[in-house]
Structure 1
Amino acid sequence: MAKSLTQQDKAAATKKPTPRSAKPNGQWKIDGTEPLNDNERFKLEDNGLNVRERIENEYSKEGFDSIPADDLRGRMRWWGMYTQRKQGIDGGRTAKLSPEELEDHYFMLRVRIDGGQLTTEQARVIGEISQEFARDTADITDRQNIQLHWIQIEDAPEIWRRLEAVGLSTTEACGDVPRVILGSPVAGVDADELIDPTVYIEEIKEKFIGDPDLSNLPRKFKTAITGNPSHDVVHEINDISLVAVNHPELGVGFSFWVGGGLSTNPKLAENVGVFVKPEQVTDVWLGTIKIFRDYGYRRLRNRARMKFLINDWGVEKFREVLENEYLGYSLADGIEMPAPTKSGDHVGVFAQKDGRNFVGLNPTVGRISGTTLVKLAELAEAAGSKRVRTTPYQKILVLDVPDQEIDALLEGIEELGLTANPSIFRRNTIACTGIEYCKLAIVDTKKTAIDAIDQLEKRLEDVKEELPQQFNVFINGCPNACARTQTADIGLKGQIITTDEGEQVPGFQVHLGGTLADYLNAGSGNVGKTVRGLKVASADLVDYLERVLRKYLDTRSTEEETFAVWAQSADEELLV
């Protein structure tokens, strides 16, 4: 079992190359390991990985009320479990109630899916667990995981048994740990792929997920690795990302990015300026996460992410520390990373390099069900496939489909409410969990998004051919930006707003003109802007979206001008 503080942690804390600051930030290599807040206290008292034994042997037998607070709202996250929001509590009370008042006696359970890779058997098992234990709920997240709701503590051991029997887990799906590793959903099959990153994702997962030496980080640590020229893992908003490039002298390897993240202080990742050879990937990942563990800020939770350390250090110092203190060798200088060459959401039907096809399906804002997963597994197998993939865009793919099976598969998936040919609104809208289940949320997101999509498809039917295919709307229920609010053409951050009549209602602050690297904006990423006073009530959202889209179509300088470019430069009266 994991120890409270490992020998490696103690060794890291003992070495102090930099003098202690006047006001400690909780950096282990500088300030030592004395906890400076309650989160650091409970993590040092008992490693979060240890709670699994108590869940199985005590809490599942004695019930919800037997779980102490440090486990319930702390360590259980290390096994993918959060208490979910009590039904009927409106968003205006989110910040006013205590955790005890907000939480229900049920859990969200996050199934970890590194690289988005599932067999049809695994998809079926998740679906069956959903049907039996989670009221048929299942959401595909924009981190390639699947989340279930309404889980009872009594059922956790049996759920883990079934998941682990087919090679799945919830280990470190949440918590201050290395979270799920994003990977290209078309790894190993796409004809344009530079390198298949699966072996590196699997090596990191097998060696280090669940390792007690890396299970007490300042906060969460997000990883993305892709070998695809579409840059399909949103590399700009992860703590560490490795994106394949073809070096003119060294061949295919990876461009190395660090320090991305959104939430209330958005920052896009920076290119470290090195070239990572394939055989160096695991070393570089391990060195980077150890830097975060040893030097990351722990005193204040709102500054305990990698992006704040990189912002203060700069990538030059980061590279120096990585090479000298953690790798023991120098990395080659990097090259400029080419812009993406195609869309990275992989929706549609595409030829694989082996002559078969992958089919990218759109579940509206990631919302599916256990029943849908089971039936999709059956349809995939009937079409000759044993593999499905989830994506960072809340999509799901079926791989290895022969030409002659495409039509039958497409017909079958339409009956499940999925499609390989969605409208731009259905394809490009992402929504977080929202107030339906999340204790942090202020507004509804999933239903709001689904209703908006349905209405926009009808209202803008007359101009659908003029609309830009990459236009997206990301909807978040609170300021934490789980749905990447600041990187959307139109990002919507949930909050309670005051109408002109003085009534407080659910609504959104509007972010405009955000982008991540894609094949239509020359690979540049940009955080969206806000317009002073621009807030929209949930009830008025569709009117606003229609209005601003029609203004864009009427006033853009050319047909090629993207919405993001237009929004960043348009007069404010056009944006309201």
Structure 2
Amino acid sequence: MSPDPIVAPSAAPVRGARTRTARVPTKPHGQWAVDGTAPLNGNEEWKLADNGLNVRERIEQVYAQGGFASIDPTDLHGRFRWWGLYTQRKPGIDGGRTAQLEPHELEDEYFMLRVRVDGGQLTTEQLRVIGGISTDFARDTADLTDRQNIQLHWVGIEDVPEIWRRLESVGLSTTEACGDVPRVILGSPVAGIAADEIIDPTPQIREISERYIGDETLANLPRKYKTAITGHPSQDVVHEINDCAFVAVTHPELGIGYDLWVGGALSTVPRLGERLGVFVSPDRVTEVWLGVTKIFRDYGYRRLRNKARLKFLLADWGTERFRAVLEGEYLDAPLPDGPPAPKPVGNGDHVGVHRQKDGLFYVGAAAAVGRVSGTTLTALADLAEAHGSSRIRTTPYQKLLVLDVAEDRVEPLITGLSTLGLEARPSLFRRGTIACTGIEFCKLAIVETKVNAAIAIEQLEQRLGALEPEIGRPISLHVNGCPNSCARIQTADIGLKGQLVMIDGEQVPGYQVHLGGGLANSDRAEAGLGRTVRGLKVPADGIADYAERVIRRYLADRIHPDETFATWAHRADEEALV
């Protein structure tokens, strides 16, 4: 097992492992296990100087008392993230200036605060506390993220200690919700309740979270580190784009366990994760997760921030070497070979009405592009309890589930959800659309997302609503405000990447288009990234116009009713896609 903390051991070749041919770097990658722990850039310097977790005491004792002006710049732009805090964008700065201004010129004296929700599991009491924090301290803002978190805005530093007190009083936190750390653990939203579940991953999610979130030995990773675990046959946690993911599988001799995936991530250099070909029994999930995490800590590239994700290490090493290092240096015993998980079954967003294994029902509902409010969250907690439920789940698709509903309470609940803007029987367009935070709050954004996407949903419902039976299935529309792909644009049927575009000789906010991407679902043989069309740009206010045009062309050109949009988009000529 690797010691903690690591003291820069020398790198030894991995016996029997086949490595991929790679050019010998002229400069060190900054791998602790190879190059030592001496920092090679400014980020690594301040991380090594003071662990990001230590900033909490200064927030409570100094900055909350002294106000925004008292905050040390390194803490503000670095260590605050370890506690779920980012400064938000100052209102009125257009997207054309995003790349021209320094961070301190873009930022407001308010924060986005990310509440960590591992596995997406919430009680109505917890939801009500989040809602109250939103209305008391965040101007009634709340967004459901596509990583099962809830984000608040307009948070002042003076209020953060009280917000933490309220969250922690009900078992919630913002610990390592951002930063170069293990981020929130995605989990199947129907863990423990789905009638068709293969295995409940909740014990593994809880063990990892309780033992290692906030662990100082894992709080200085090269960059962000994302985990996903599912035991549902729909494979509902977007496992292919996580650094470390476990997908339920049945081994012919060893029974039920998990298939291990590593090295997935999107952003500006998208790469789907790869199977290591091993079988992980439930009792070894935490050990294996820890081993993969330590490989990233010890061997991950640190010199260049744009190379500091596990996907780049995997690309250089290959799966054989990665497995050899994992088993030889970080695990107590090798892992058995394992079969791949079967093709996904069903829709992983869990929208609609579904019977649980105990005979009760869960109801999945869509909020328009994840935008809700504190008032809505509080009302949802009240509504759920009025219909016999005390459990809520968030999903990786910006949806909400109400669990444990008796059959005779399902329809009244659906009616009540609709009054809150949460649709259990949404249009295909409302169901399939997600959006990132966008220029309203994000300092990296170039284009508005939430409002533009919500308007597009309404327009598409009006224009194409009558064609929904012909379309047959949701067409995913993902809208992102910049190239970083927080809204997973490369894995959507229609993915829109925010940038400045030339329309009729004028530079305006708009989107580059990705078409035909997708992750594990019942319609695809395998996950794949979308294609781009040369020269195709969509103005910011033209989302519905473009989506309508390309969807109508798809309906006209598809070979048969079962041909998916993604299949058609990859085979179609470019002229059909503009």
TM-score normalized with structure 1 length: 0.97
Aligned to 1:517: 520
Aligned to 1:96: 100
For residues 428-467 of structure 1, what are the structure 2 equivalents within 5 Å? Answer: 428-467=432-471
Aligned mate of 2:545, from 526, 538, 543: 543
Structure 1 residues 470 and 541: CA distance shift in structure 2, 3 A: closer
Aligned to 2:111: 107
Aligned mate of 1:184, from 169, 181, 188: 188
* Contact map agreement 1:17 1:29 (CA 8 A) in 2: no
* Contact map agreement 1:468 1:562 (CA 8 A) in 2: no
Structure 1's unaligned 5+ residue stretches are 1-5
Aligned to 1:257: 261
Aligned mate of 1:23, from 23, 27, 30: 27
Aligned to 2:572: 570
Aligned equivalents of 1:214 and 1:200: distance in 2?
A: 18
Deviation at 1:17, TM superposition (A): 2.9
Aligned mate of 1:14, from 9, 19, 23: 9
* Contact map agreement 1:18 1:30 (CA 8 A) in 2: no
SS at match of 1:195: coil
Aligned equivalents of 1:21 and 1:368: distance in 2?
A: 48
For residues 155-194 of structure 1, what are the structure 2 equivalents within 5 Å? Answer: 155-194=159-198
Aligned equivalents of 1:45 and 1:55: distance in 2?
A: 18
Aligned mate of 1:207, from 204, 207, 211: 211
Aligned equivalents of 1:92 and 1:336: distance in 2?
A: 46
Q: Deviations over 1:121-143 (max 9, x none)?
A: 00000000000000000000000
For residues 408-447 of structure 1, what are the structure 2 equivalents within 5 Å? Answer: 408-447=412-451
Aligned equivalents of 1:25 and 1:470: distance in 2?
A: 43
Aligned to 1:484: 488
Q: Which amino acid aligns with 1:270?
A: E
Q: Which amino acid aligns with 2:356?
A: Q
Aligned to 1:233: 237
Deviation at 1:543, TM superposition (A): 1.3
Deviation at 1:328, TM superposition (A): 3.0
* Contact map agreement 1:187 1:227 (CA 8 A) in 2: yes
1:560 equivalent to 2:562? Answer yes
Aligned mate of 2:529, from 527, 532, 538: 527
CA RMSD of aligned residues (A): 1.3
* Contact map agreement 2:6 2:298 (CA 8 A) in 1: no
* Contact map agreement 2:436 2:479 (CA 8 A) in 1: yes
Deviation at 1:541, TM superposition (A): 2.2
Deviation at 1:336, TM superposition (A): 2.4
Q: Deviations over 1:351-379 (max 9, x none)?
A: 00001010101111111000000000001
For residues 62-461 of structure 1, what are the structure 2 equivalents within 5 Å? Answer: 62-461=66-465
Aligned equivalents of 1:82 and 1:313: distance in 2?
A: 34
Q: Which amino acid aligns with 1:188?
A: G
Size of the aligned set, in residue pairs, is 568
Q: Which amino acid aligns with 1:125?
A: V
Structure 1 residues 348 and 462: CA distance shift in structure 2, 3 A: closer
Deviation at 1:503, TM superposition (A): 1.2
Q: Deviations over 1:346-403 (max 9, x none)?
A: 0001000001010101111111000000000001111111100000000010000111
Deviation at 1:542, TM superposition (A): 1.6
% identity of equivalent residues: 66
SS at match of 2:568: helix
* Contact map agreement 1:361 1:420 (CA 8 A) in 2: yes
Aligned equivalents of 1:355 and 1:541: distance in 2?
A: 42
Q: Deviations over 1:167-222 (max 9, x none)?
A: 00000000000000000000000011111000000000000000000000000000
* Contact map agreement 2:427 2:465 (CA 8 A) in 1: no
Deviation at 1:22, TM superposition (A): 4.7
Q: Which amino acid aligns with 2:542?
A: D
Q: Deviations over 1:69-123 (max 9, x none)?
A: 1100000000000000000100000000111110000000000000000000000
SS at match of 1:9: coil
Deviation at 1:521, TM superposition (A): 1.4
Aligned equivalents of 2:426 and 2:73: distance in 1?
A: 44
Deviation at 1:16, TM superposition (A): 3.7
Deviation at 1:499, TM superposition (A): 1.4
Q: Which amino acid aligns with 1:508?
A: Y
* Contact map agreement 1:389 1:397 (CA 8 A) in 2: yes
Structure 2's unaligned 5+ residue stretches are 15-23
Deviation at 1:7, TM superposition (A): 8.0
Aligned equivalents of 2:254 and 2:554: distance in 1?
A: 45
SS at match of 1:333: coil
After TM superposition, which residue ranges in structure 1, 4 or more long, deviate above 6 angstroms?
none
Aligned equivalents of 2:539 and 2:561: distance in 1?
A: 30
Deviation at 1:15, TM superposition (A): 4.4
Q: Deviations over 1:418-456 (max 9, x none)?
A: 110000100010100000000000000000000000000
SS at match of 1:122: helix
Aligned equivalents of 1:549 and 1:386: distance in 2?
A: 40
1:506 equivalent to 2:501? Answer no
SS at match of 1:434: coil
SS at match of 2:521: coil
Aligned to 1:3: none
SS at match of 1:233: coil
